[in-house]
Amino acid sequence: MASAAQPTRDDFAAMLESSLGKNQSFEGRVVKGRVTAIENDLAVIDVGLKSEGRVPLREFAAPGVKAEISVGDEVEVFVDRVENSMGEAMLSRDRARREAAWDTLETQYAAGERVEGVIFGRVKGGFTVDLSGAVAFLPGSQVDIRPVRDVTPLMNLPQPFVILKMDRKRGNIVVSRRSILEESRAEQRTGLIQSLAEGQIVDGTVKNITDYGAFVDLGGIDGLLHVTDMSYKRVGHPSEVLNIGDVLRVQIVRINRETQRISLGMKQLEADPWTTAATRYAVDSKHKGRVTNITEYGAFVELEAGIEGLVHVSEMSWVKKNVHPGKIVSTSQEVEVIVLEVDEDKRRISLGLKQAQRNPWEVFAEQNPVGTIVEGEVKNTTEFGLFVGLEGDVDGMVHMSDIAWGLTGEQALASHHKGERVRAVVLEIDVEKERISLGIKQLDETKVQGGATGGTTAAGGSDYRKNQIVTATVIEARDGGIEVQVGEDGPLAFIKRGDLSRDRDEQRAERFQVGQKVDAMVIGFEKNKKPTLSIKAMQITEEKQAVAQYGSSDSGASLGDILGAALNRAKAGDDTDKG
């Protein structure tokens, strides 16, 4: 028998090349192998190479799960290298699972399908998720629809995710759990909104409160309960009526199925008080109410829950004009009002505050008919007269021509000042135009003993009239003027510094001596009926009379010449009388 042929050098070279080519084709691939032994925490796996490889047991278990593997099991592993420095094959179960997972995930990502994974760790900004071997990043904002304080209950549980983006070259995968929940909620909302109808009455839970209303959970979908639909009465802020967690019975007012927005109402479940407002609040009827809000143009008064009326600023007071309503009424104040107008369609009631009180001009006219003498304080002086405050907060006007006899209007106005108390006669009353005309000079024509009309009875029984010239004795000189006694035993009076002379240089109290006699004019009366005196007014009157009698506007004579002539004629008359 012939002996077998011995292999040549070329045969050895071909066999070596075949063996190396076979081994090199294994690297970087996922292959199947069999577990031949379990050594401590390593699994020995034969994949058909010259030597076996060892793989840690933890790579055969999912995160948080104990590995279940035994001798003889067939597994897939990734061949990293055919042979390392120790002559063993370098295998990886993780790489095998990862490669297989990436293939599957890429297919699912392209199809927009959900993937299943397990949250198993925390990293900066989020969490790590095992997607059947591939590790993905779950941002903290993508865990839930609302911020989650404790994620522990969600960890190590298989659950669905959506892949937001993935890059195989870089090994990056970003997933979202929130997208799954939003899709589920959207489906639930769509189904729920289809089951609702406008006008339907449902129960809900207050979920959130804002300045303009409250969001109510209807069991998976939220509805907005606007503040204006909470009650027929005025609601300043929703928190005055509701609290988070309150269970409410509401009516569905409107549904927008395209935007999935629902408007709710509470007051719609109550009887509308406006349906019978015109009957219960007839025009000209009087009612009590509470001031709920004050604006620049008026005040809102609540007549009952859900019924408010507006008192315009022009209807608030008979006497206070052009003032802010807040100076007439205050919030929560109870007031009486008169109904002026009712518009049920526009849900408006116009109210009057001043109409609930008597017109003060009517009251004044009843109590002070024409010819009555009244007393008041000068509230204001104008270029045409004086405004005097009278009883009932009404004002009367004294025209400049009715202030004093024998004086021009300007002179008469100059003899009075704001804050001074004066007496006057009622000349005319126009209730409709709210006007009262007064006269001061008419007091001289209506002198009656006891001061009921024009005169004033002084101590000692002497009567004094306005514009009367009297002689008084200086009792004391002060900085502000001089104190005098009228007549021998008449009343005490005080002449102010400004009334001591028509010339400013002569308005000095120190030039008067105690006991000195002075002439002065009665220009008014104090509240206690004491006369008010003025030397200045007397001088002005005398000068005017002198000009009228002895001078003319075109004579060219000076005031001194005129006064000198007047004095000379007066003296000559006295001498004649003596002769």
Query: Looking at residue 564, what is its pLDDT?
Result: 57
Are 177 and 148 members of one domain?
Answer: yes
Are 56 and 33 members of one domain?
Answer: yes
Are 58 and 96 members of one domain?
Answer: yes
pLDDT (tens digit per residue) in 298-349: 999 998 888 889 999 989 988 888 889 999 999 989 999 999 999 888 889 9
Are 370 and 433 members of one domain?
Answer: yes
Total domains in the fold of the chain: 6
CA torsion, points 501, 507, 509, 513, in degrees to nearest 10? Answer: -50
Residue 451 in domain: no
- Of the residues 415, 445, 475, which one is the last residue of a structural domain? 445
* Domain extent for 176: 114-183
Are 104 and 119 members of one domain?
Answer: no
Q: Token digits for 250?
A: 């509401």
Are 33 and 105 members of one domain?
Answer: yes
- Of the residues 298, 330, 356, which one is the last residue of a structural domain? 356
* CATH code: domain of residue 128: 2.40.50.140
Contact in structure between 480 and 509 (CB atoms under 8 Å): yes
| Of 189-198, 355-364, 490-499, the least confident | 189-198
Query: Looking at residue 1, what is its pLDDT?
Result: 42
Are 151 and 200 members of one domain?
Answer: no
- pLDDT value at 13 more than 70: no
The phi, psi pair for 548, rounded to 5°, reads -65, -35
Residue 105 in domain: yes
Residue 15 in domain: no
Residue 501 in domain: yes
Q: pTM, whole model, 2 decimals?
A: 0.42
Query: Looking at residue 568, what is its pLDDT?
Result: 58
Give the model's confidence band at 567: pLDDT under 50 very low, under 70 low, under 90 confident, else very high.
low
| Of 108-112, 399-403, 522-526, the least confident | 522-526
Residue 18 in domain: no
Mean pLDDT: which of 290-299, 435-444, 542-551 is highest?
A: 290-299
DSSP string, 19-62: HHHHHHTTTTSEEEEEEEEEETTEEEEE-SSSS-EEEEGGGGS-
- Of the residues 214, 234, 269, which one is the last residue of a structural domain? 269
Query: Looking at residue 341, what is its pLDDT?
Result: 92
Give the model's confidence band at 184: pLDDT under 50 very low, under 70 low, under 90 confident, else very high.
confident
- pLDDT value at 93 more than 80: no
Angle at CA of residue 175, ends 103 and 180, nearest 5°: 110
Question: Rounded distance, CA 395 to CA 504, Å?
Answer: 33
Q: Token digits for 398?
A: 């004294």
Q: Which of the two residues, 121 and 133, has the higher pLDDT score?
A: 121
Residue 455 in domain: no
Are 289 and 380 members of one domain?
Answer: no
Are 470 and 560 members of one domain?
Answer: yes
Contact in structure between 354 and 337 (CB atoms under 8 Å): no
pLDDT (tens digit per residue) in 411-457: 888 888 899 999 999 999 888 888 999 999 888 754 433 333 333 33
Are 470 and 552 members of one domain?
Answer: yes
Residue 431 in domain: yes
Are 476 and 537 members of one domain?
Answer: yes
Q: At what angle do helices 559-578 and 535-550 cross, to 10 degrees?
A: 90
Are 151 and 109 members of one domain?
Answer: no
- 571 to 251, 547, 578: CA distances (angstroms): 104, 17, 11
Query: Which 3 state secondary structure label does DSSP give 280?
Result: helix
Q: Which of the two residues, 457 and 514, has the higher pLDDT score?
A: 514
Per-residue pLDDT averaged across 539-557, rounded?
68
Query: Looking at residue 339, what is its pLDDT?
Result: 93
Q: Which of the two residues, 541 and 59, has the higher pLDDT score?
A: 541
State in Å, rounded, how far the first CA of the chain is from the last one: 207
pLDDT (tens digit per residue) in 142-165: 998 888 888 888 998 999 999 999
Residue 188 in domain: no
Query: Which 3 state secondary structure label does DSSP give 322?
Result: coil
Contact in structure between 136 and 120 (CB atoms under 8 Å): no
Query: Looking at residue 26, what is its pLDDT?
Result: 63
